[in-house]
Structure 1
Amino acid sequence: MRPTILDTLFSPVSALPGVGPKIAELLVKLLGRETPDETRVVDLLFHAPSSLVDRRHQPGIASAPQGAIVTLTGRVDRHQPSPKGKTNIPYRVFLHDETGELALVFFRGQAAWLDKQLPVDEEVMVSGKIEWFNGRASMVHPDYIVKVSDAGNLPLVEPVYPLTAGLSPKTLRKIIEAALPRIPEFPEWADKELVARQGFPSAAEGFRQLHEPRDPADVDSQAPARRRLAYDEFLAGQLSLSLVRQRLRKVAGTPVKATGIISRAILNQLPFSPTASQTAAVADILKDMAGQDRMLRLLQGDVGSGKTLVALLSMAAVIESGGQAVLMAPTEILARQHHATISKYAGSLGIGIDVLTGRTKGRERDDVLERIALGEAQIIIGTHALFQESVSYKNLMLAVVDEQHRFGVHQRLRLTAKGISPHMLVMTATPIPRTLVLAAFGDMDVSKLTEKPAGRKPIQTITIPTERIGEIVQRLKSALAEGRKAYWICPLVEESEELDITSAEERYATLTSALGPGIGLIHGRMSGAEKDAVMMAFKNGEIRLLVATTVVEVGVDVPDATIMVIEHAERFGLAQLHQLRGRVGRGDEASTCILLYKGPLGETGHARLSIMRETEDGFRIAEEDLKLRGEGEVLGTRQSGTPGFRIASIEAHADLLEIARRDAAYLIDRDPELTSERGNAVRTLLYLFRRDEAIRFLHAG
């Protein structure tokens, strides 16, 4: 049960003043939740400001520097409304102080509202960005207008938050201000000596300081409030992992007795030999599964390094031993693709292979569930639908989770929480530096696939400025005429799905007019069935050019696609560019990746594109990306924090991760059930950071 002290933080955001259904939907999007019900007040507390606007600078009109945010006090002289019918000419209001005159500029300004806000002869304070043109100062749409008598209502120091389209900074700030008084005084879960040594505020004070910065230093990653909350977040994460580990050790594994009969039959069908690292990974997995303890292994393999084959041979061993295996993929497209690949190699051997996703409905679903329960389905491939209450397995011995850099410790927990204790193999296509493995997985055993399968040709990577886009379109025209297939990736534009899709749709329109039919479009707003239909048409060659947003990044396999164009490549992180590039070069033809960039490039953009030209080694790219960009990008999440982490950042707080790891191990060792005074405080911490699954493990004992 969640402690009652947290009730005020876990009420839905709609309980806050000013949050109606429309704003609630925007907050769902901003805070990364699924539904308004799941979006709670606590999620707002973890939405940290990224910078600060300082309105204390009050230089007087004549001394206000170009482009600076300033606060000015002056007397209103006159209004100059837009001429009738000419809405393109702005409404202007002029005011002066003892140093000079300022024009306030309003596009589509409403006369009645402006008269009320800025009555002639009233002394007012305005705050916003100053523009100088021909020796005259102006301020377009001031951020604040208050009468001098109400000066107390002008916030002089203001945090700036990441936003989503449709949500204004003022609205979000008001909502967060309404959330802050709900913070209770938490019991102290951190070690007292550590708190003193690090100069940490209390957790409650940490949240308040985070959202009420007084100074640019307060929004720095090393500010005491940020470090305190980062430590708490790492501690919650490491404790969850320790509890999972402790629980996994309590539940004995079922030893897998592999005979090699099915594995040999699969290997005999392959048109190639497995690489040395594939063979070594399979040997590690079989050795782990043969023991009394449950396997928990991470398989890291670069794009196209052949993780699916390792998974298939691991599943074959389990079937030889009379068990069932599941393979969970993050998306419908991927699940169907894994099904196609695995059926190709294992379908002819009489193995029962089934697919179960959210789209498996009605009679078909009932049939699949029955085959799973009877054990006729030996390999079951699907999305998280595999772990729903209604699915019962006859003898599940292995779960393979294809995380595709979406690190859900949650899925892994949910499976174990069902009372099933299969061996676990977690696969990721993002090569991960060691510190990140610790943060996301704890001390998990790791296998790496380092070579590319035989026959894969290197991909030639070139960088070209957007001014030369016409040449690229001409080169595409001749390539498509020769029967080649290509991807054209459009960027994420400012985090806005609307803009994102427009850019893909516009590019689709311009390419269709330049190249004629045979072009497909795929983006995140399409339904699963629509995406699948377009992907199938591309695979079968009805479509030769696929225009897409980053939807295709995840695991799409079209071996005869040989050209990848990435527009605005400078907007993508290295890991993402590397993932996208890995969609080509999967067959035996030479492939090309064209990175179109808009100059001039900054230092980071320049370094990023250079690394892409120099190497295809995902492990090197991951290390470089961590230096350039931070771990959020390495793990394929666009937030600044590590997946699952809202405030902590590995480069900024690596010292705290190490302390949290040791502290979690010490705590679990001394108080495995968390029943001591500090143990109870730690339970509150776990609930606060939504690590409820970890607490269920305690109850499951």
Structure 2
Amino acid sequence: MRPTVLDPLFAPVTSLEGVGPKVADMIEKVVPAGVHDRAARAADLLFTLPHSVIDRRHRPGIAGAASGTIVTLDLRVDRHQPPPRGNKQVPYRVFAHDETGEIALTFFRGHQAWLEKTMPVGEQVVVSGRMEWFNGRPSMVHPDHIALAGDEENSLLMVEPVYPLTAGLSAKVLRRAISQSLVRLPDLPEWLERETLGRLGFSSFAASLAHLHRPEEPEDVSPEAPAWRRLAYDEFLAGQIALALLRATKRTLTGRPLVGDGQLASRLRDALPYLLTASQEQALAEISADLASPDRMLRLLQGDVGSGKTVVALLAMAQAVEAGGQAALMAPTEILARQHLDTIAPLAEQAGLTVAILTGREKGRDRVDVLAGLADGRINIVVGTHALFQEPVVYHDLALAIVDEQHRFGVHQRLAITAKGEAPDMLVMTATPIPRTLVLTAFGDMDVSRLTEKPAGRQPIRTVTLPLERLDELVQRMGEAISSGQKVYWICPLVEESEELKLMSAEERFQSLRDVFGDAVGLVHGRMKGSEKDAAMAAFKGGTTRILVATTVIEVGVDVPDATVIVIEHAERFGLAQLHQLRGRVGRGSKPSSCVLLYKDPLGETAHQRLSVMRETEDGFRISEEDLKLRGEGELLGTRQSGTPGFQVARIEFHADMLESARDEARLILARDPGLESERGEAIRMLLYLFGRDDAVRLLRAG
């Protein structure tokens, strides 16, 4: 049971004064990621942190206030000037002065009675807002704050936190709701060791929250400030304890040894047109040992695009079938599921395995047949979308579940899969090279295998950077390259010239290169008809054209093994992951390849770092680590709202340095007190509830 002391924080936001159903809907849009599968609660507002502040301490007097700046003025009210009766187009004006000059406070559709009560003639008032000057006359339109002198201490925040907002939600309403949530925060026991607090320079949980929501200086709301770092560490700790408990529970759900005679695997290997790489063999050995163990397998298989994960998955599934079980492979989209089926089915059939597909598209008789085949065991392997783990699907004996592109599925789906068999072994695959820090946070409960090699025969790619000023020199070198029989990709960021961005478009570059190389230049971009694109690609593959000018349509899925040079124009405009994908279009044959990153000076700091990383390494994992530093985990794994890895306050790009420490502390806590029954254990339970890790507390009770 959740401690009753936390109940006020777990009440819905509609329990707060001034928050009805309409305002609650708007608040749901601004509370942090990871809570969108339920109604927002008061506790969620604690973690809705300001992204900046408005500093209202600047009091320069009317004459000294620059146009466009936020200022606070101490004024005496002189007179009110309502608009003429019946003419609402004219604003209501209140004239006031200080010792440096006079100002007009302007209100469109102002309510006279309210304004006269708020700013009585002859009284001293304090107003704060954006200063504007028209024809030498100062004005402030709709001041943000108005208070009678002496009352401003209560009503005017001199350093005002700025929160994320959505249409219809005013800053005032959100601030008031957050203030009420802070008042509900009980006196909590400390869950961090004194040594940790001292080493990391943290104050208490409550003091850190108060500091962020009531800042005294602009830097107080920075993610790198001690208050924010304290909350991030707490969230990491809650996550690592939850993952450790999940892992312990999954391990105690004893699996069973899946050991076969190796015949199916041997037939599959014979059907392959190539030998496996050393890292594929290594990953298979690790998976095979996990399957043969009585403990449940929980393993993450990472590999760059084209590193051969599907074949590893198929050989793992063959071992499960040899041991008398069934295997399922779940992909996030139907397209990906059918792509897996196309790879798996021909090989599986040669080995005598029965394979089926189950997605939302299978209807009627087909669906009934697949469901019957899964229930009676006739189907050995099934490929599909999340339809595989919905209510009506019953397995005869699901022994191995494989999930592709795990970061699109949450822990809940993992648990739904687990419920479909007698504690099936689980393998999770991803083609996105995930930085180690993210592996720790999102997949901390898993063992990890990596496919680090390219298929046999692939050549390294030499990467160079070149300023646009040396373009003529580059074009001359391209001439030498195509004379010696090479093929060149030339990538541009745009299809046609844009007014806003002074960048070379694909169409312009195509024309300029055609002036030099004539018909040897082809063009392909996303706005062309499918048939035109196919014809342009066929001409390039066949060698009729030797230079292919393209936009990023060639980023994935294009395979021309004898293309050995890629030029990426305005490389500073592309992200690291995209540059890495584009570069992967060359180096696919047996000849050495090169990548030229053309950039326009002057380079910004981030762009400079990106290009340096590309020059230094071809390792997708290293590139993903650098990309994480430069962009943050939200962008790297899709949107921040996807809840991957579902942080409310922690930001990997700012707080990754504390992750290992949080993981070590979590392990130490559970080693000393696995049931969290000590005094500190009780405090840790509070932490788990606060960060929405109720599942972990339930695991404790179930365990």
TM over 0.5: yes
Contact 2:61/2:74, CA 8 A, preserved across alignment: yes
Out of 496, 500, 506, the position equivalent to 1:472 is: 506
Residues 7 and 310 (structure 1), Cα distance of their counterparts in 2 relative to 1, 3 Å cut = same
Give, as a single letter, the amino acid of the residue that structure 2 aligns with 1:442: G
Out of 234, 242, 252, the position equivalent to 1:232 is: 234
Contact 1:406/1:643, CA 8 A, preserved across alignment: no
What is the CA deviation profile of residues 381-420 of structure 1, one whole-angstrom value per residue up to 9, with x for unaligned ones?
A: 3444444454433222222222354474444345446674
2-side partners of 1:558 and 1:78: how far apart?
Answer: 71
Contact 1:28/1:36, CA 8 A, preserved across alignment: no
Q: 1:62 aligns to what?
A: 63
For the pair 1:393 / 2:392, whether they are aligned, the reply is: no
Secondary structure of the equivalent of 1:7? Answer: helix
Give, as a single letter, the amino acid of the residue that structure 1 aligns with 2:159: V
Q: 1:338 aligns to what?
A: 340
Q: 1:172 aligns to what?
A: 174
1:149 to partner: Cα distance = 7.1
2-side partners of 1:595 and 1:14: how far apart?
Answer: 54
Contact 2:407/2:644, CA 8 A, preserved across alignment: no
Q: 1:664 aligns to what?
A: 666
Give, as a single letter, the amino acid of the residue that structure 2 aligns with 1:238: Q
1:582 to partner: Cα distance = 8.5
Give, as a single letter, the amino acid of the residue that structure 1 aligns with 2:303: G
Q: 1:181 aligns to what?
A: 183
2-side partners of 1:583 and 1:171: how far apart?
Answer: 51
2-side partners of 1:303 and 1:94: how far apart?
Answer: 67
1:345 to partner: Cα distance = 4.2
Give, as a single letter, the amino acid of the residue that structure 2 aligns with 1:429: A
Q: 1:243 aligns to what?
A: 245
Residues 330 and 690 (structure 1), Cα distance of their counterparts in 2 relative to 1, 3 Å cut = farther
Give, as a single letter, the amino acid of the residue that structure 2 aligns with 1:262: L
For the pair 1:7 / 2:41, whether they are aligned, the reply is: no
Moved more, 310-319 or 93-102: 93-102
What is the CA deviation profile of residues 111-130 of structure 1, one whole-angstrom value per residue up to 9, with x for unaligned ones?
A: 55799488795755432344
Contact 1:323/1:396, CA 8 A, preserved across alignment: yes
Secondary structure of the equivalent of 2:9? Answer: coil
1:246 to partner: Cα distance = 1.8
Residues 570 and 154 (structure 1), Cα distance of their counterparts in 2 relative to 1, 3 Å cut = farther
Contact 1:59/1:70, CA 8 A, preserved across alignment: yes
Q: 1:499 aligns to what?
A: none
Residues 194 and 456 (structure 1), Cα distance of their counterparts in 2 relative to 1, 3 Å cut = closer
Out of 673, 682, 685, the position equivalent to 2:684 is: 682
2-side partners of 1:548 and 1:124: how far apart?
Answer: 59
2-side partners of 1:602 and 1:134: how far apart?
Answer: 39
2-side partners of 1:192 and 1:417: how far apart?
Answer: 41
What is the CA deviation profile of residues 18-50 of structure 1, one whole-angstrom value per residue up to 9, with x for unaligned ones?
A: 444444444434333676744333222222222
Q: 2:442 aligns to what?
A: 440
Q: Count residues with an aligned counterpart.
A: 641
Give, as a single letter, the amino acid of the residue that structure 2 aligns with 1:110: R
What is the CA deviation profile of residues 571-591 of structure 1, one whole-angstrom value per residue up to 9, with x for unaligned ones?
A: 88544x358759977998999
Contact 2:34/2:641, CA 8 A, preserved across alignment: no
Q: 1:523 aligns to what?
A: none
Contact 2:10/2:43, CA 8 A, preserved across alignment: yes
Give, as a single letter, the amino acid of the residue that structure 2 aligns with 1:28: E
Moved more, 604-613 or 44-53: 604-613
2-side partners of 1:32 and 1:422: how far apart?
Answer: 30
Give, as a single letter, the amino acid of the residue that structure 1 aligns with 2:109: Q
> Which stretches in structure 1 are left out of the alignment for 5+ residues?
488-510, 521-544
Q: 1:317 aligns to what?
A: 319
Q: 1:42 aligns to what?
A: 43
Contact 2:397/2:421, CA 8 A, preserved across alignment: no
2-side partners of 1:343 and 1:248: how far apart?
Answer: 31
Give, as a single letter, the amino acid of the residue that structure 1 aligns with 2:4: T
Residues 265 and 676 (structure 1), Cα distance of their counterparts in 2 relative to 1, 3 Å cut = same
Q: 2:296 aligns to what?
A: 294
Secondary structure of the equivalent of 2:505? Answer: helix
Q: 2:675 aligns to what?
A: 673
Residues 560 and 316 (structure 1), Cα distance of their counterparts in 2 relative to 1, 3 Å cut = farther
Percent sequence identity over aligned pairs: 56
Give, as a single letter, the amino acid of the residue that structure 1 aligns with 2:65: A
Residues 77 and 298 (structure 1), Cα distance of their counterparts in 2 relative to 1, 3 Å cut = same
1-side partners of 2:45 and 2:600: how far apart?
Answer: 35
What is the CA deviation profile of residues 180-232 of structure 1, one whole-angstrom value per residue up to 9, with x for unaligned ones?
A: 22323334333355446655444334333332222234223354432332222
Residues 586 and 245 (structure 1), Cα distance of their counterparts in 2 relative to 1, 3 Å cut = farther
1-side partners of 2:35 and 2:128: how far apart?
Answer: 37
Contact 1:238/1:661, CA 8 A, preserved across alignment: yes
Give, as a single letter, the amino acid of the residue that structure 1 aligns with 2:208: G
Moved more, 606-615 or 287-296: 606-615
Contact 1:311/1:400, CA 8 A, preserved across alignment: yes
1:139 to partner: Cα distance = 4.7
Contact 2:404/2:428, CA 8 A, preserved across alignment: yes
Q: Please, what TM-score do these two structures have when normalized by structure 2?
A: 0.75
Q: 2:470 aligns to what?
A: none
Q: 2:405 aligns to what?
A: 403
Contact 1:304/1:586, CA 8 A, preserved across alignment: no
Contact 1:405/1:636, CA 8 A, preserved across alignment: no
Q: Please, what TM-score do these two structures have when normalized by structure 1?
A: 0.75
Moved more, 11-20 or 392-401: 11-20
Q: 2:101 aligns to what?
A: 100
What is the CA deviation profile of residues 305-362 of structure 1, one whole-angstrom value per residue up to 9, with x for unaligned ones?
A: 2322222222222223222222233344433443444335435655333444567677
For the pair 1:376 / 2:359, whether they are aligned, the reply is: no
Give, as a single letter, the amino acid of the residue that structure 2 aligns with 1:6: L
2-side partners of 1:40 and 1:519: how far apart?
Answer: 54
Secondary structure of the equivalent of 2:299? Answer: strand
1:101 to partner: Cα distance = 4.5
Give, as a single letter, the amino acid of the residue that structure 2 aligns with 1:289: L
For the pair 1:211 / 2:245, whether they are aligned, the reply is: no
2-side partners of 1:597 and 1:140: how far apart?
Answer: 45
2-side partners of 1:209 and 1:224: how far apart?
Answer: 10
Give, as a single letter, the amino acid of the residue that structure 1 aligns with 2:42: V
1-side partners of 2:571 and 2:640: how far apart?
Answer: 15
Moved more, 169-178 or 341-350: 341-350
1:239 to partner: Cα distance = 0.9
1:608 to partner: Cα distance = 3.0
Residues 13 and 312 (structure 1), Cα distance of their counterparts in 2 relative to 1, 3 Å cut = farther
Give, as a single letter, the amino acid of the residue that structure 2 aligns with 1:41: A
1:59 to partner: Cα distance = 1.5
Q: 1:154 aligns to what?
A: 156
Secondary structure of the equivalent of 1:326? Answer: strand
The structure having more radius of gyration, on CA atoms, is 2
2-side partners of 1:359 and 1:425: how far apart?
Answer: 25
Give, as a single letter, the amino acid of the residue that structure 1 aligns with 2:48: H
Contact 1:6/1:184, CA 8 A, preserved across alignment: yes
2-side partners of 1:48 and 1:345: how far apart?
Answer: 53
Secondary structure of the equivalent of 2:255? Answer: coil
Q: 1:625 aligns to what?
A: 627
Q: 1:328 aligns to what?
A: 330
Residues 344 and 46 (structure 1), Cα distance of their counterparts in 2 relative to 1, 3 Å cut = farther
Residues 356 and 120 (structure 1), Cα distance of their counterparts in 2 relative to 1, 3 Å cut = farther
Moved more, 315-324 or 600-609: 600-609
Residues 141 and 390 (structure 1), Cα distance of their counterparts in 2 relative to 1, 3 Å cut = farther
Contact 1:405/1:429, CA 8 A, preserved across alignment: no
